[in-house]
């Protein structure tokens, strides 16, 4: 679990340090979809996002995700439903996604997506 926490922190630092590079350069980011989804959610003010807001974060943060939308959007949906750390919370306007940090760090190490 300690190693997973370190990897998540390193992903966060890498994204922050190279935000402009990823925003402007069409290169596939070296992070799992689960890590990216988590990052999007924890960067949000209330630590919850709609599916549409997650998509928007991907496209705004990484030039790579401004193309081939059908492919990566399907991967995002798949990861949200696959990993127990992502929780769908219904509200009056629809639903938002949150992340359970304990569950996130419990999951098995994933290959880079």
pLDDT at 102: 86
**What is the reported pLDDT for 33?**
95
Domains of the chain: 2-106 (1.10.10.10)
Residues in contact with 65: Cβ distance below 8 Å, sequence separation at least 6, in sequence order: 58, 59, 72
Instruction: Give pLDDT tens digits for 99-111.
Output: 998 888 776 555 5
4-13 pLDDT, tens digit each: 444 555 566 7
3-state secondary structure the chain: CHHHHHHHHHHHHHHHHCHHHHHHCCCCCCCCHHHHHHHHHHHCCCCCECHHHHHHHHHHHCHHHHCCHHHHHHHHHHHHHHCCCEEEEEECCEEEEEECHHHHHHCCCCCCC
Give the gyration radius of the chain's Cα atoms. Answer: 13
The answer on pLDDT for 2 being more than 60 is no
**pTM of whole model > 0.75?**
yes
Amino acid 101: pLDDT: 87
Instruction: Read off the pLDDT of residues 15-27 as tens digits, 9 standing for 90 and up.
Output: 778 888 989 999 9
Residue 6 is predicted with a pLDDT of: 47
């Amino acid at each position: 679990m300690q190693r997973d926490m370190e990897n998540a922190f390193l992903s966060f630092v890498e994204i922050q340090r190279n935000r402009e590079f990823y925003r402007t350069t069409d290169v596939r980011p070296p992070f799992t979809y689960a890590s990216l989804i988590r990052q999007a959610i924890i960067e949000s003010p209330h630590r919850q996002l709609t599916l549409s807001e997650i998509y928007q974060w991907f496209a705004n943060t990484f030039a790579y995700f401004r193309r081939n939308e059908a492919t990566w959007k399907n991967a995002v949906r798949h990861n949200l439903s696959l990993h127990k750390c992502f929780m769908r919370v219904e509200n009056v306007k629809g639903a938002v996604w949150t992340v359970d940090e304990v569950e996130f760090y419990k999951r098995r190490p994933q290959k880079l997506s």
